[in-house]
Amino acid sequence: MEFYSAKIRLASILSGIAIAGIFTLIVLGLARYFYGNSLSIGLLSLILIFVLFIDILQFLIGPYLIGRTFRTKEISNGDPQYQWILDDVTEVCASNSQKVPRVYLAAVPFPNAFAYGSPIAGRRLAITIGLLQLLDRDEIKAVIAHEIGHLKHHDVALLMAIGLIPMVMFYLGYTLLFTGGNNRNNNGYSFLIAIGLIVVSFVFNIMILGVNRMRESYADMNSATIPGGPEKLQTALAKIVSASPQKTRGRRRSSQSSFTNLLLFADPNAGQGKDYHSLLNEWKSAKVSIFSSLFSDHPHPARRIQSLERIKQ
């Protein structure tokens, strides 16, 4: 089982890198075709190496930076106050045939949870103080099942890999914008191509948001691996959104990095200022436009609630 799991993990990482690599080679070939000898292979290689370095470095040391940001502290075995969290994580992992990750408590007031890790930091799961104060034990256990789903599907590694695509596109377009203009044989297309690459990078970022919404929905389905999980995850989501700050026009999004927001169980900016019972009943019958979450890193709560409703036992 461990060998099979390792093969799946390797395949998911390599698939994402392969997609990014193939697309990058196509773009570099097109740029070389349009620009000819005015664009050196050395410059293109330098851009690619720089982006790869930044992406891999972020992947490797990201868990330590996240730990500092959220002020996480590992829950040790035998902790008199939080041993029950370790017990629940162990039980959920057993239901999913997963190795138990290191569990952390995040000293931040807002209710949330996230799974993360890297080859040097190992697999980690963090629960905020705010979540413990808001949810009951069964709801927390359902959220844990959701987060174990992310670890089970190797979502963090996949997001890091496909994130190479827009990074490469942006830096390539930015570089061409300031280096391609010296080619007099490009008939004035230099500026348009560079701007086009930058625009494409933003389009790919929107696609990555779509991938993240799908992986969130897929992790929600993992709540069915524990008794009563889907129903408890519904109430957990409703309570978190109800307790989160309301959006106001012109209000800035969470100060956390965009990648960190991708890891969270729920959108930290999705507060609606309603009682969670009302929200839950409203979402179960709400009709949500396909464009409602186009620029969001999490699915619309109503979509998540309705998906969980269909898998209730």
Out of 2, 74, 91, 147, the active site residue is 147
Pair 160, 59: CB distance under 8 Å: yes
Query: Which letter, b or e, does each residue of 266-303 get, where b requires 16 or more Cβ atoms within 10 Å of its Cβ?
Result: bbbbbbbeeebeebbeebeeeeeeeeebeebbbbbbbb
Give the amino acid at 182: N
- How many whole angstroms separate alpha carbon 77 and alpha carbon 90? 11
- How many whole angstroms separate alpha carbon 157 and alpha carbon 144? 19
Q: Where are the alpha helices (DSSP H) in the chain?
A: 2-35, 41-70, 83-95, 129-134, 137-153, 155-162, 164-179, 190-221, 229-243, 258-263, 276-285, 301-310
- How many whole angstroms separate alpha carbon 37 and alpha carbon 7? 42
Has 139 been annotated as catalytic? Answer: no
Indicate which residues carry an active-site annotation.
147
